[in-house]
Structure 1
């Protein structure tokens, strides 16, 4: 038996299949087929933008999508390659190579599983929203920038991973612009933007146009754009780069199992990439699951089970050449809107993708990369929460600094640096805000009469402590001695509103006690709450005080201060 609590491995699918009906399967199957069709162009686009082959994205969507739905803790979450990973994966492949990407993904899977197994899934929610918005918007900018090459049809062998280097290389090759590729990319982008997104029928009697709109909305705009662009390129033989010209097409077969070469020397260099993949995967999947919970009347997700499923998926998928996977908001939202209510829809989504690969893979050779670039620009725009920049002036300077700083660091450096600095800034600002909440204020006669029913005796000075006395606020305690009025013989600290005390704060009280004794002033404490009182007793601080120096109420502390022989 383990000496610490662990989370039982119980996939949501087990509970969902109890009392499962044909009607539920029909709804889940329809949603799964719809999401599978939506996932196809996105999986290829995410893989290509990450510097990988398109089939690696498809295989990831199939394998990881199946495992996340079968083993996960959400009823409707759809897993697979995500846009948020594009920048991370591209940088890892550039710096460490494909083999080390696979190893890093597997190690991240182990870390994700451990987080869920040890019941640490809730910790991901403690990441401030300003950091999440900052790096999400930063990633969206980088995704959009990475698609400029294919959108314009520029003749560039390989884009660098650095932001400024990318801009410089794009500017150097802008003269190689292909107008045909640009027209295809912009047309696909426009089509995805204007394509109907709603399945709902109007309340008024439906017209023929309304019915046509509803039927059109049942087919995803990304699929229409991709199919249309592919048909045009194949029919007219347009001079644009396609999946066939760059990658030779997509294999019409299942991926083969292969263990990546592993060495501890390489693993030691992959600590930061591994943590980055795990952290981003955990944040994306749990945020996605929370969004899905609010979209439909379904049981709330189990964050720890979801992380364990994400871990298994990221351990298994690299064995078949796949890329990192997580929960995806766009596909999960489509799944819910299509009527899915159980993980069966995710299994059907994976089966749909597998059927497409086995049947229609040869058609992919004509898919223009400019069309995928247009689709990814739409994904990048939807991914960012741009309205938050317009709302920044409504929030405090600390929030604005963290959000904008994380955004800029993500764009200019990388996600790992951005999150690290963002968390440090958040901690510093939190400490600063908490220190501002702590106060040590003198109580005048009127306040004392309200609290204790009497004024302070001559030579007795009363101060109230408010908030949390911790390491960030000890300076205010150290200033108490210098602020004492002349002739003070007893200092009473009223602690009724002192809600928390840490060891550094206790040390500050100890130093205050010694400084007061050097001046011949006695220290009294009144109305000490449970947590501070417990720490004072366990540390031996109460033994340093005079007998009767800790009173249960302020009134009794004042009475004791009046008593002769008990004031020093």
Structure 2
């Protein structure tokens, strides 16, 4: 249903719920403030662009979204891809790719792709999120230790080498701010669950840095003047070459955004006992990304941590998300002169905590207990995210997971030859105590009959040699059949024609039957050779053998007085 939750949730809206949404919106805005700034800086853009994203994108996600409690904004998942796009195409390239991603998301929602996202294996999502966490940690080493470096390489290995070569330039005052921020965040969570520790930590260390006049880099000293108002909407300059080059990054943003936002919606459904509208959520995420880029922001998606905080603080309708966006706007308009005094080291500590919470480190402990295929997909996705990029990691992860799944399905499918009742106990059950003629043989296919299993069938055909006069193929355990499997059926039919063998199909299910009809195979072997029961198939086979015997006798020369 393509109706925003904001419409249906407000039908029976009460004053009591508004108060809860209002309080929750303020608390989530306080949580989102340092996160939005820190994530913008980690992505390679100026701090206010993170606020533009949370304000514009967050408001649209709540207004048009398919979840009651979803909070939209910048997230750590996009840091790697955004940083890579800016390094290669600049800020204009980022705006173009974000708008393209938004268009893709709207199309995905209209085509009702929301339910398809659940087919992406968890081994891929945990692989790239844990990989992103490691990359995010690596980007914060410079500010965490206050290293005196002009530029930080984009590639992971080069980055580590550069840090090692410049580690002697460590600023111990910055390190003190970083460790103090971490300590306050960790300890505050044990004291008070309502007010976020990141907000308290940043206020304390900013005041401390000012009072003690510490020699640390601040937002102002690194970025200069920061705008305290929303920019005018504008479309980026674009050309066909740029669109072509940004197609893959834009698709990656769209897929990553859809996975994270729908995952967040599923998590929040479990917390409130609700049910989100996945396709409407994709459309909302699409428009949020389009307008975020038009107003100078970065990619938007559903933020799991902020959404969970919204639920825990009493938010139950999209009003809470819209209030969160409006409160952020007020903070930006009134308090930006104070925001620019925040030490970069404290923001680095905030991102270190985000990275730590983002990574699914428990997976590494259970890695060797998981199925080998899942472990392989996780490891490949994890390391490709770190050492190459997210686009390659997701692409290879999906392809690898697909191939492993198809191999597993191919292994499940069996092609079994059923002997006569003198040779196999299972055959007695199968033929239901009907004695098979020596010129009748039965094969059974079990499992999905697709290209991954067709080779098994072809091998069984070749091993069969010259078939008997009647060949019965039992297909009661075949739920699905594809074109490759059909072509192997054609091969079998040609072999049967060559050896004057009649083919009977037994207990076929609807999908394979409809497919054989479309290809004309039913007409090819005759509808009478499709049987629904074993005794019917045996009876049909005996009729065929009788007709065959009659034709032989009819074509032989007549005997005269018993002599040739």
Say whether the fold is shared (TM-score over 0.5): yes
For 2:477 and 2:189, the matched residues in 1 are separated by 57
- Shift of the alpha carbon at 1:246? 0.5
Partner of 1:408: 383
- Identify the residue that residue 482 of structure 2 maps to in structure 1: 502
TM-score (norm. length: structure 2): 0.93
Residue 543 of structure 1 and its aligned partner are, at CA, apart by: 2.8
Q: What corresponds to 2:546 in structure 1?
A: 565
The correspondence for 2:471, drawn from 467, 491, 511, is 491
Distance 1:276 1:546 in 2: 50
SS in 1 for 2:226: coil
Q: Is the 8 A contact 1:453 1:555 kept in 2?
A: no
Inter-partner Cα distance in structure 2 for 1:547 and 1:94: 64
How big is the alpha-carbon RMSD for the aligned residues of Structure 1 and Structure 2? 1.8
Is 2:249 the partner of 1:241? no
Question: CA separation in 1, counterparts of 2:170 and 2:436?
Answer: 84
CA contact (8 A) 2:230 2:295 kept: no
Cα distance in 2, alignment partners of residues 547 and 260 from structure 1: 63
Q: For residues 510 and 485 of structure 1, do their structure 2 counterparts lie closer, same or farther at Cα, with a shift above 3 Å needed? A: closer
Instruction: Indicate which of 469, 481, 489 corresponds to 2:461.
Output: 481
**Offset from partner CA, 1:35-56 (integer Å, 9 cap, x none):** 0001100011001111111111
> 1:526-541 counterparts in 2 under 5 A?
526-541=506-521
Match of 2:479, SS state, is: strand
The reply on whether 1:380 has 2:359 as its aligned counterpart is no
Per-residue deviation, 1:346: 0.7
Q: Deviations over 1:216-259 (max 9, x none)?
A: 32211001111111011111110011111101253333333333
2:62/2:322 contact within 8 Å kept: yes
Deviation at residue 94 of structure 1 after TM alignment = 0.5
Name the counterpart of 2:299: 324
Give yes or no for contact 1:31–1:339 (8 Å, CA) kept in 2.
Answer: yes
- Equivalent positions of 1:336-351 (< 5 A) are 336-351=311-326
SS in 2 for 1:259: coil
Q: Counterparts of 2:91 and 2:331 in 1: how far apart (Å)? A: 26
Structure 1 residues 487, 21: closer, same or farther in 2, change over 3 A?
A: closer
Within-5 A mapping of 1:75-90: 75-90=68-83
Q: Does 1:463 align with 2:456?
A: no
Aligned to 1:524: 504
CA distance in 2, matches of 1:187, 1:116: 45
Cα contact 2:503–2:529 (8 A) shared by 1: yes
Aligned to 1:204: none
1:354 CA displacement = 1.3
- 1:217 paired with 2:193, answer yes
Kindly tell me the number of residue pairs found equivalent between the two proteins: 543
Aligned to 2:401: 426
- The equivalent of 1:208 in structure 2 is none
| Structure 2 residue 535 is the aligned partner of structure 1 residue 555 | yes
**Partner secondary structure for residue 159 of structure 1:** coil
Relative to structure 2, which stretch is displaced further, 47-56 or 311-320?
311-320
| Candidates 104, 112, 126, aligned match of 1:119 | 112
Counterparts in 2 of 1:86 and 1:559: CA distance versus 1, 3 Å: same
- Give yes or no for contact 2:467–2:496 (8 Å, CA) kept in 1: no
Aligned counterpart for 1:177 among listed residues 146, 170, 173 = 170
When Rg is computed on C-alpha atoms for both structures, the one with the higher figure is 2
Give, in whole Å, the separation in 1 of the partners of 2:76 and 2:494. Answer: 60
Tell whether the 8 Å contact from 1:448 to 1:454 is kept in structure 2 after alignment: no
Q: Is the 8 A contact 1:461 1:484 kept in 2?
A: no
Q: 1:468 aligns to what SS in structure 2?
A: coil
Whether the 8 Å CA contact 2:77–2:129 is kept in 1: the answer is yes
Match of 2:20 in 1: 27
Q: Deviations over 1:438-482 (max 9, x none)?
A: 111122423333233323122322221111211111122222334
Provide the C-alpha distance between the structure 2 equivalents of 1:567 and 1:163, rounded to a whole number of angstroms: 74
Name the CA distance, whole Å, in 1 between partners of 2:435 and 2:181. 79
CA contact 1:84–1:139 (8 Å) conserved in 2:
yes
1:52-451 equivalences under 5 Å are: 52-196=45-189, 213=191, 216-297=192-273, 299-444=274-419, 445=421, 446-451=425-430
Note the alpha carbon deviations across 1:382-421, whole angstroms, 9 max, x for none: 1111111211222221111111101111111111101111
Q: CA deviation at 1:486?
A: 7.8
If the length of structure 1 is used for normalisation, what is the TM-score?
Answer: 0.92
Aligned counterparts of 2:511 and 2:282: Cα–Cα separation in 1: 34
Partners of 1:521 and 1:19 in 2: how far apart? 72
Cα offset for 1:160? 2.0
Equivalent position SS for 1:453? coil
Q: What is the SS of the residue equivalent to 2:429?
A: helix
* CA gap 1:89/1:482 in 2 versus in 1, 3 angstroms: closer
Distance between the aligned counterparts of 1:543 and 1:491, measured in 2? Answer: 17
